Amino acid sequence: MSFEVTISGIKEGAVDSFILYNEGLIQSGLSAEAYAEGPLGWFDPNTSMQSLQAIQSLAARVQARFDLLIVIGIGGSNRGAVAAVGALSPMKTELFFAGDTLSATQLAKAIRLVQERNAALCVIAKDFNTIEPGITFRMLRKELERKYGSSSHERIIAIGSGGEGQLHHLAQRHQWEFLAFPADINGRYSVLSTVGLFPMAVAGVDIENLIAGGIAEHQRLTTLKPLMNPAVRYAAIRNLLSKQGSIIEALVIFEPALEGFARWWVQLFGESEGKKEGALFPTYFSYSEDLHAIGQYVQEGPRIIVETFLNYTYKSSPLVIEPSCEIQDRFDYLDDRPFDTLNEVVYQAALNAHASDQRPVIELSSSQSISAYSLGQSFYFFLFSVYLSSLLLGVNPFTQDGVEGYKKNMYHQLGKGKVWPD
C-alpha cells in the first residue's frame, strides 16, 4: 500500500458525490481508455521489466569502469532520477546532474569534474533539440575528447528516441552506447522507464524493487472501486478545492531528502494540468524549515493555498536526545525523547493549526517507510493521480504546447534557423 487520503476543508460526502457524478469519466481513466491513442506507455509498469536486464548490464559496466556519471538532461529527462537518488542515497557510482541550466558557472563545475575525475557522460533527450542538455553535452564531450582522445566515445551513453531519432543516429555514427527512450512515454511520465531507471541503477538504486512497487501500485489503483480508490479521491479533492477558490497546491514534505521528489511532483502536475483556468499551481514546502519562512502566510494569509501533507518518512532513527547537565540550555523538556518524535509532533502541530482555521489540508499517509519499493509505489500513485485529475479538469495530460512560447523567442534571438555566411 502506498498512500491513504484524508481531507480537512471539504466534507467527505461532497467528495463522494463528485466522484459518483464523474464516474464515467473516472472509469475511462481506470481502464486507460481516456486518451488511449496518446503516450500511455507508463500506464502499466510491467513493460519496464522488458528492458531491465539491458539496463542492469550496462549499469554494471559503468560502475566497474568509472567513479562518476554525469547525467545530462532537463525536466522529465532527469527529475525522476534526481528524486530517487536523493531519497534513497545509494552508495555505488556517484552521479552529477548537468544540462538543466544555462549557467556558465554550473557548466564550469561539470567541466572540472571531467578534468579531475574518471567520468562518463549519459545524455538523455527524447528529441535532442533542447538547448540546455544539447549545448552542455557538446561542451563536456569536447572536454572528454581533449582528455581521452580517440577512446572518448567509450565514456558516452545516449538515451533518446530510436529509429530516426537524432541521438540514435549520432550514437551509431560515433560508437556511443545507446538505450531507447520509449516512444510511447513523455518525459515527465518516464521515471519508471529506461530514462529514470538507468541513472538510478548506476547510482546503486534497487531498480527491480522500484519497478515492483510501481507494478503493485498499478494493480491496486486499477482494481479498486472509485469511492475507495485513493488516487481517485486525491484527484477529486484537488478539483473540488479548485472550484471552491483554491489557487495553489503545496506538497509538504518533512524529510529534506524528498526535495527532489517534490520537484518531480511539481513538474508532473504543472506541465500536465497547467492549460486552463482552474488548474492548481503546484509548489512545495519543506517543513519544519519553511514554517519559519511561509508559515505566517499559510496561517493567516489569503485562503488560496491547499497543503498536501506527505506523511512518508524513513524508518525510526535510533537517535535519542541526550540531557545537557553541564550547560543549562533550557531544552531539558526534550531530554531522553527519540529525536524522531520532534518531526512527528511538528507534523501534527502544523496540520492541526492550519486545519483548525479551516485551511484546506490533504493528508497522504503511507504505512511504509521510504525504500526503493515504496518509492516505486509513490511515483506510480502520482502518475496515476495526475492522469485522473487532468481528466476531471478537462485537459489533455500529455501535451505541453505552452512551453513553446519562450522557446520561439529564445531561438529567434539566438538565430536558430538562420544561414550564416562563410
Residue 421 has pLDDT above 60, yes or no: no
Residue 181 has pLDDT above 80, yes or no: yes
Q: Are 262 and 253 in contact (CB under 8 A)?
A: yes
Task: For the chain, give the mean pLDDT.
Answer: 96
The one-character DSSP state at 101 is: -
Q: Where are the domains of the chain?
A: 3-34+210-401, 45-205
The one-character DSSP state at 192 is: T
Q: Say yes or no: do domains 3-34+210-401 and 45-205 share a fold.
A: yes
Residue whose C-alpha cell reads 540514435 in the numeric block: 168
Q: Are 176 and 156 in contact (CB under 8 A)?
A: yes
pLDDT at residue 286, rounded to an integer: 98
Q: What percent of the chain has pLDDT over 90?
A: 91
pLDDT at residue 422, rounded to an integer: 38
Phi and psi torsions of 319, nearest 5°: -65, 130
- Specify the pTM: 0.96
Which of 143, 271, 307, 363 is catalytic? The answer is 271
pLDDT band, very low/low/confident/very high, at 401 (cuts 50, 70, 90): confident
> What integer is the mean pLDDT of 402-408?
82
- pLDDT, tens only, 94-131: 999 999 999 999 999 999 999 999 999 999 999 999 99
The question of whether 168 is a catalytic residue gets the answer no
> What integer is the mean pLDDT of 18-42?
97
Least Cα distance to 305 among 287, 284, 276 occurs for 284
Phi and psi torsions of 360, nearest 5°: -70, 130
Residue 191 has pLDDT above 90, yes or no: yes
Least Cα distance to 122 among 184, 41, 203, 187 occurs for 203
pLDDT at residue 418, rounded to an integer: 60
Q: Are 306 and 362 in contact (CB under 8 A)?
A: yes
- pLDDT, tens only, 285-319: 999 999 999 999 999 999 999 999 999 999 989 99
The question of whether 126 is a catalytic residue gets the answer no
The question of whether 169 is a catalytic residue gets the answer no
Residue 420 has pLDDT above 70, yes or no: no
Rg of the chain on CA atoms, in Å: 23
- pLDDT, tens only, 196-246: 999 999 999 999 999 999 999 999 999 999 999 999 999 999 999 999 999
Which of 142, 407, 408, 416 is catalytic? The answer is 407
Distance separating alpha carbons of residues 190 and 196, to the nearest angstrom: 6
pLDDT at residue 300, rounded to an integer: 98
- pLDDT, tens only, 355-387: 999 999 999 999 999 999 999 999 999 999 999
Q: What angle do CA 348, 354, 359 make, to 5 degrees?
A: 135
The yes or no reply on domain 45-205 and CATH 3.40.47.10 is no
Residue 343 has pLDDT above 60, yes or no: yes
57's grid cell: 548490464
- pLDDT, tens only, 244-260: 999 999 999 999 999 99
Strands (E), 313-371: 361-366
Distance separating alpha carbons of residues 373 and 2, to the nearest angstrom: 10
Distance separating alpha carbons of residues 39 and 182, to the nearest angstrom: 9
Residue 146 has pLDDT above 60, yes or no: yes
Which of 37, 164, 276, 292 is catalytic? The answer is 292
Distance separating alpha carbons of residues 356 and 333, to the nearest angstrom: 26
pLDDT at residue 1, rounded to an integer: 63
> What's the fold here for domain 3-34+210-401?
Rossmann fold (3.40.50)
> What integer is the mean pLDDT of 152-163?
97
